[in-house]
Amino acid sequence: MKITIKWCFIVGIDISKLVLDICLFNRQSGRGIRYQVPNTMEGFRLLEQWLIDQKASKSKTLLISEHTGRYGELLLRWTTEAGWQHSVVKTTALQKVSWEHHRKTDELDADHLAEYGDRFSDRLQPAVAPKPAVGQIKRLQAERRKMVSQRAALKNKYTEADTHDADMSQLTSMWRQQIDLLSQHIDLLEQTMDQLISQDADLSQRYKSMRTAPGIGPIVGRFWLSLFAGEDQLDARKVSSRFGFAPHGRSSGSSVKSPARSTGYGNSEMRRLMHLAARSVANHKDHYHDYYEQKIAEGKHELVAINNIINKLIRLYCAMWNNRVKYDPDHILKTEHQWKKSA
């Protein structure tokens, strides 16, 4: 059987704030070459010229780096626009190939990334930088989350000021001003995000259709866009598992026999917002309220019932996203009618 190699060159890139440490691994010769460039647009141009000098063409070369947040955003944007295949892996990926636990350097991490790309190249998928509007929404959403947390902390201080026996008038005045300023800034961020969404036809269509779903207000709608904009199809099972809502088994031999349960891991903002959305529909939507009461009557814990509603909402949202349709309030009644006819 003939085995073909899709990528002849694997380029491991360790990203830091100032520089990129690079290891170019030639899969045919089995040799690796190190290089270093600044983490700037000029550095990216130097990297491209160096790869060309090493005969590493775009069609036969895969770049691989860890997810490093803002330090890697500019590189991913450049590789997307320049046409280089670039895979971004989790920071835990190197644990599969790192055997020197006592030694860690940027050059060694680049070597390990190249080794990981060589060993698992069949599992790697090239990443694409989000559209500028989506990237801006993500950044504004993150800043909004920080400001909301700061405002909540200040409100707690403000409401508890009367419990102190000292004169708190000066502090309460400062806290009140800060709360008002944060509220103004949060409103401005939300207005900017709404403008960015309205200026992009695809984002605007997605946002308007998702807003028709139960449980999705402006905050949840913007956050859903910031997470999934650019993806054409969503797998509800994977989304639930990714954010810790899907139950997973816990058993090993005869010593561990725990019932399946959700992990509780995942994006904390997503978990908080989906919990609020589930609470809202359980209180205000008859179908979800009846479902919640049914689970409680079965002896389920309140949070388990809410988690079940979250999974139902995720399946609904993903179906609407995949089909690009608005929510049909009569869908449940139509489905029940079809079931009765088929029975």
Residue 309 predicted with pLDDT over 90: yes
DSSP code per residue over 244-306: T-SEEEEEETTTEEEEEEE---S-HHHHHHHHHHHHHHHHH-HHHHHHHHHHHHTT--HHHHH
Predicted local distance difference test score (pLDDT) of residue 2:
42
- Domain residues of the chain, as ranges? 9-123
Q: 138-194: per-residue pLDDT in tens? A: 889 999 999 999 999 999 999 988 887 788 889 999 999 999 999 999 999 999 999
Residue 213 predicted with pLDDT over 60: yes
Predicted local distance difference test score (pLDDT) of residue 1:
37
Question: Residue ranges of the alpha helices (H) in 54-168?
Answer: 70-82, 106-119, 132-159
Q: According to CATH, what is the number of the domain 9-123? A: 3.30.420.40
Q: How many residues does the chain have?
A: 343
Q: 64-78: per-residue pLDDT in tens? A: 999 888 889 899 999
Predicted local distance difference test score (pLDDT) of residue 193:
95
Predicted local distance difference test score (pLDDT) of residue 3:
44
Work out the pLDDT band at 343, boundaries 50, 70, 90. Answer: very low
**Rounded to the nearest 5°, which phi and psi values hold at 324?**
55, 50
Conformation bin of residue 266: beta by default, left when phi > 0, alpha when psi is -120 to 50: left
Q: Other C-beta atoms within 10 Å of 194: how many?
A: 16
Predicted local distance difference test score (pLDDT) of residue 148:
94
Percent above pLDDT 70 for the chain: 87
Residue 103 predicted with pLDDT over 80: no
Give the integer Cα–Cα distance in Å for 195 and 160.
37
Q: What is the pTM of this model?
A: 0.73
Q: What is the mean pLDDT of residues 6-20?
A: 92
Residues paired with residue 85 on neighbouring β-strands, in sequence order = 62
Work out the pLDDT band at 46, boundaries 50, 70, 90. Answer: very high
Residue 157 corresponds to which tokens in the numbers above?
């201080």
- The DSSP secondary-structure symbol of 130 reads P
Residue 125 predicted with pLDDT over 80: yes
Q: What is the mean pLDDT of residues 302-322?
A: 94
